[in-house]
């Protein structure tokens, strides 16, 4: 797909366009982020004061939510062309890391939606000669532990891979690498608190929904290198064209995104 075709596709499957995230959630999450809510701050360390209007304007600019300040409930939007432009920057940065054979860490707080995306990118990076960072298992977190499947770190609890916004799993993983005398990653590819925390000290790329203002603030402050705006929890197969677009842009186009779907591979 070319960029225009991809943008049209993303709108058609509601990864962008009139996404499922309610407007009232977007506005409430801006306030919660500014209040330092543990589920919305994502571990992002700001270096300047941000007001509600500052973050609202940023989300209009970077994501494409409605700029109508009197629109307070209903269905909000993500601009497909803003998503595609961010995907281009994401692919360029990932490709450079792979060509340099860097150590790349992949992680997700949204395993039900984004795991196959990260898994495909991790497998393609590994096949092209980059090192996918492996974190020793056994790190406990909230009555669960951090596990790595298909090259991707996730939080596991009671037999389930869990959704989390917390930055703690990334903090614990980086500390474990350090404690074992292992070097920090050269690049992190993640989302939610995994990306927000890592970007404070490590080059990082992230995916973020329109109700995730923290990662766009991190990007605006020059910490997170790229924040890609998209709905982060549609059916996983719908992300395949997006993933293949990244792979081609990164110079990994010979690798098919669906060849690394978890249903088809059980290698970590």
pLDDT the model gives residue 136:
86
The region of weakest confidence among 94-103, 162-171, 195-204 is 162-171
- Model pLDDT for residues 218-237, shown as the tens digit of each residue: 999 999 999 999 999 999 99
The region of weakest confidence among 66-80, 193-207, 250-264 is 250-264
> How many Å apart are CA 166 and CA 70, to the nearest integer?
31
- Model pLDDT for residues 237-262, shown as the tens digit of each residue: 999 999 999 999 999 976 666 655 54
pLDDT the model gives residue 62:
98
Where does 102-170 show beta strands of DSSP type E?
A: 103-107, 131-132, 140-141, 144-149, 152-157, 160-162
Average pLDDT value for residue range 34-45? 93
pLDDT the model gives residue 73:
94
What's the pTM value of the predicted model, to 2 decimals? 0.92
**Torsion angles phi and psi, residue 206, rounded to 5:** -145, 155
- Model pLDDT for residues 125-138, shown as the tens digit of each residue: 999 999 999 998 76
Where does 56-191 show beta strands of DSSP type E?
A: 75-78, 103-107, 131-132, 140-141, 144-149, 152-157, 160-162, 187-191
pLDDT the model gives residue 3:
97
Average pLDDT value for residue range 43-52? 95
The percentage of residues in the chain with a pLDDT greater than 90, rounded to a whole number, is 87
Asked if residue 41 lies in contact with residue 198, where contact means CB atoms within 8 angstroms, the answer is no
Q: Is the pLDDT of residue 27 over 70?
A: yes
Asked if residue 245 lies in contact with residue 80, where contact means CB atoms within 8 angstroms, the answer is no
Average pLDDT value for residue range 11-18? 97
Tokens of 124: 């393609």
Q: Is the pLDDT of residue 267 over 60?
A: no
Residue 83: count of CB within 10 angstroms of its CB: 25
Q: Which CATH number fits domain 81-208+219-260: 3.40.50, 2.30.30, 1.10.3470, 1.10.357?
A: 3.40.50
Q: Is the pLDDT of residue 264 over 60?
A: no
pLDDT band at 139, cuts 50/70/90?
A: confident
Domain ranges of the chain: 16-79, 81-208+219-260
Q: What's the whole-number average pLDDT of the chain?
A: 93
pLDDT the model gives residue 142:
83
């Amino acid at each position: 797909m070319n960029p225009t075709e991809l943008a049209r596709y993303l709108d058609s499957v509601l990864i962008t366009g009139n996404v499922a995230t309610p407007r009232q959630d977007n506005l409430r999450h801006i306030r919660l982020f500014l209040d330092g809510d543990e589920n919305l701050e994502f571990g992002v360390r700001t270096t300047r004061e941000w007001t509600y209007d500052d973050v609202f304007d940023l989300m209009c600019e970077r994501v494409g939510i409605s700029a109508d300040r009197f629109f307070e409930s209903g269905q909000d939007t993500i601009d497909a062309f803003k998503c595609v432009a961010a995907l281009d920057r994401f692919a360029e940065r990932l490709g450079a890391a792979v060509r340099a054979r860097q150590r790349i860490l992949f992680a997700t707080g949204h395993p039900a939606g984004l795991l196959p995306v990260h898994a495909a990118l991790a497998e393609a990076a590994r096949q092209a000669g980059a090192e996918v960072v492996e974190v020793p298992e056994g790190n406990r977190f909230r009555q669960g532990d951090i596990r790595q499947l298909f090259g991707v770190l996730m939080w596991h609890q009671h037999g389930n891979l869990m959704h989390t916004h917390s930055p703690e799993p990334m903090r614990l993983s980086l500390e474990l690498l350090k404690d074992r005398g292992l070097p920090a990653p050269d690049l992190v590819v993640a989302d939610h608190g995994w990306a927000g925390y890592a970007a404070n000290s490590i080059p990082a790329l992230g995916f973020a929904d329109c109700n995730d203002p923290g990662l766009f603030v991190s990007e605006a402050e020059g910490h997170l290198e790229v924040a890609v705006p998209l709905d982060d929890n549609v059916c996983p197969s719908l992300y395949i064209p997006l993933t293949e677009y990244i792979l081609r842009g990164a110079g990994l186009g010979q690798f098919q995104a669906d060849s690394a779907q978890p249903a088809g591979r059980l290698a970590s």
